[in-house]
Chains A and B, each alone.
Chain A
Amino acid sequence: DAGVTQSPTHLIKTRGQQVTLRCSPKSGHDTVSWYQQALGQGPQFIFQYYEEEERQRGNFPDRFSGHQFPNYSSELNVNALLLGDSALYLCASSPDRVFTDTQYFGPGTRLTVL
C-alpha cells in the first residue's frame, strides 16, 4: 500500500517565478492538506482540499493556491515567489472523518528560492 507521494523532491526557483508542487494521497484517503515547514520550525497549515474544493485555509496569502483532482491528487501553486517561501512543503492525506481522522504525511518537496 503506497503512502503519500510528492513530486518533485527538490526544486530551485528564482524570485518572482511560479511553482507547482504535486501530491498523491494514500490509498483510501480523499482529503489532502498542505503544510509549509521552514528550517528549524514545525509545519504550518496552508490549506485543506476535499471534493475538489478548498475547505479550510491557514494564514497564508493568496499567492498560495491549490487544486484537487477527481482522483483526489492535489497541486499546490505559489506565485510571485519570495525568498521567504524557501521551505519544505508537506502534503498530508486523511479520510474525511471530522475530528477523528489522522493525517499521514508525505516526504515533502524542498523548495529553494534564490
Chain B
Amino acid sequence: AQSVSQHNHHVILSEAASLELGCNYSYGGTVNLFWYVQYPGQHLQLLLKYFSGDPLVKGIKGFEAEFIKSKFSFNLRKPSVQWSDTAEYFCAVRTSGSARQLTFGSGTQLTVLP
C-alpha cells in the first residue's frame, strides 16, 4: 500500500524567511500529488496539484512544488513566508492502483512569527 511521509512535524519561521516542506511517497507507479492547507478554524483547501507535465507546479498564494520522480518527492516551497501562512500543511498522493482515494501525510504545522 502507498504511504506518504512528512518528516517535519512542526516548523517555526520568521516572516520573510524561505520555506521548504518535505513530502515523500512510496509507490512505483503513476501518481497524482497534492498539497492541502488547513488554516486555523478553516477547512482543508487545495494549495496546488500535480497530474502530469511540467514537474514544477505553481499554486495559490505564491506557493510552488517540484515533483522529482527519482526521489519520490513533492516538496512545497515559498520564497518568503508571511504571518498569514501559519497553518497545517498536508501532502497527499493518489495512485493509479487506488485511483479513487487520497493518501495523506501526517501534516506539518507551520508557525510564522511576526
Contact status of A45 and B32, CB under 8 A, knowing A105-B43, A106-B43: no
Contact residue among B4, B44, B51, B99 (Cβ-Cβ distance under 8 Å from A105): B44
Question: What 1/0 flags go to B94-106 for Cβ under 8 Å of A?
Answer: 1010111111111
Contact residue among A58, A98, A108 (Cβ-Cβ distance under 8 Å from B99): A98
- Give A105 to B34 CA distance when docked, in angstroms: 13
B43 pairs with A33, CB closer than 8 A: no
Shortest CB–CB separation between residue B52 and chain A, in angstroms? 9
- Give chain B's interface residue range (CB within 8 Å of chain A): 20 to 34
Judge whether B63 is part of the interface by a CB distance below 8 angstroms: no
Contact residue among A42, A100, A108 (Cβ-Cβ distance under 8 Å from B43): A108
A99 pairs with B105, CB closer than 8 A: no
Q: Which of A66-114 contact B (CB under 8 A)?
A: 90, 92, 98-100, 102-108
A41 pairs with B106, CB closer than 8 A: yes
